[in-house]
Structure 1
């Protein structure tokens, strides 16, 4: 496989963060990409510690040294198990800013972090910090929640046919080149409730539903051809309903081990796949989530 760009994995040494580091190492081995393992000591926590104990207290030095040893030990394990080169980076300050700056310095092709961390990584994934990171970065973000035992084998690609969809497929092919892809589009009849309220008969609404499904199937096939997916490499899943609910349902029903989302929906005001859908999939789903943050031009 052709080498990809650098991979940046962040860790706080929690169990989920170790899963993320293992997945990042596997991807580095599979793609021939350099891996950087990063730990950030949160600036707010350090400031609070200094307020209580005073600047330069021995406890701070012991914490820094303990983190350094854990980082080195984790890096050495990844080197040995996955036969890769791992660079380590230690920093302190604003976690979001430090990660973004390091990603820029490396020109990272992928950011990897755990779905449930201890402290800052938990807030990073589940809180407003993750949204700010995704809004500001043009780099794909992989949120790991499973223990990685093998390469990704079955990937659910959530498509809304926005400019982000093509790039989402491209990134997914990099992360899971040998997987079977499920191309999912959740369609709805526009303004169905209002149509019913306005007295539009059921037969007419059902006609619209058939049209919406047929159009979605056509667009899924066109996108598969556009992105170079081969017959036998993918299957279509065109289903009616709310996107966030259908993604989680199909992820589980089809035994997928990765869900791929584009950054935005059809318009900047919707923020469809960055906002409510991503939050729902992270909260209710059971598999890893890859958010592609670039759009086709």
Structure 2
């Protein structure tokens, strides 16, 4: 039924926790997994007198390395489950849009995401990438808590 699954991961404990479920789902459906981690570029604040300047180059290197680690963990789980795998590290100011575009680009027919299930004020303040993906894709989205 589902032959190509997009699995966005941010390396959080919750993403790591649901990885085994995603692999088992893919194995049962004989699907391939495309995992994507989205790096948000460092926003440069307006600097006043005496402000510290952050090293954007170092930030990029560290974020790429961390993102690659997230993808490598999913790749290891896919290998152990015998699931075909492709990993992508993308950079975008809007992760949800990048996730929706990756699903289109890689011909995915399902998006499987972990969600913290925030409610109330924390949802309003922190936003929800999952909610944004749900509202911007016509693909089925399986949300795991």
TM-score, length basis structure 1: 0.40
Structure 2 partner of 1:281? 133
Structure 1 partner of 2:19? 169
Structure 1 position 239 matched with structure 2 position 96? no
Q: Where in structure 1 are there 5+ consecutive unaligned residues? A: 1-150
Using CA pairs under 8 Å that are at least 6 residues apart, name the structure with larger relative contact order, 1 or 2. Answer: 2
Q: Point out the structure with max Rg over C-alpha.
A: 1
Partner of residue 207 from structure 1, selected from 32, 52, 58? 58
Per the alignment, in what secondary structure is the counterpart of residue 229 of structure 1?
A: helix
Structure 2 partner of 1:187? 39
Q: How many residues align?
A: 132
Once the two structures are superposed, residues 158-198 of structure 1 have per-residue CA deviations (whole angstroms, 9 ceiling, x without a partner) of 101112112332222233322111111111245x232xx23
TM-score, length basis structure 2: 0.76
Structure 1 position 220 matched with structure 2 position 71? yes
Once the two structures are superposed, residues 210-240 of structure 1 have per-residue CA deviations (whole angstroms, 9 ceiling, x without a partner) of 3211221123203432xx3118721111111
Partner of residue 263 from structure 1, selected from 112, 115, 138? 115
Q: Does the 8 A contact of 1:259 with 1:290 survive in 2?
A: yes
| RMSD over aligned Cα atoms | 2.7
Q: Does the 8 A contact of 1:258 with 1:288 survive in 2?
A: yes
Which runs of 4 or more aligned residues in structure 1 lie more than 4 Å from their structure 2 counterparts after TM superposition? 269-272
Q: Where in structure 2 are there 5+ consecutive unaligned residues? A: none
With over 3 angstroms needed to count, the CA separation of the structure-2 counterparts of 1:290 and 1:233, relative to structure 1, is: same
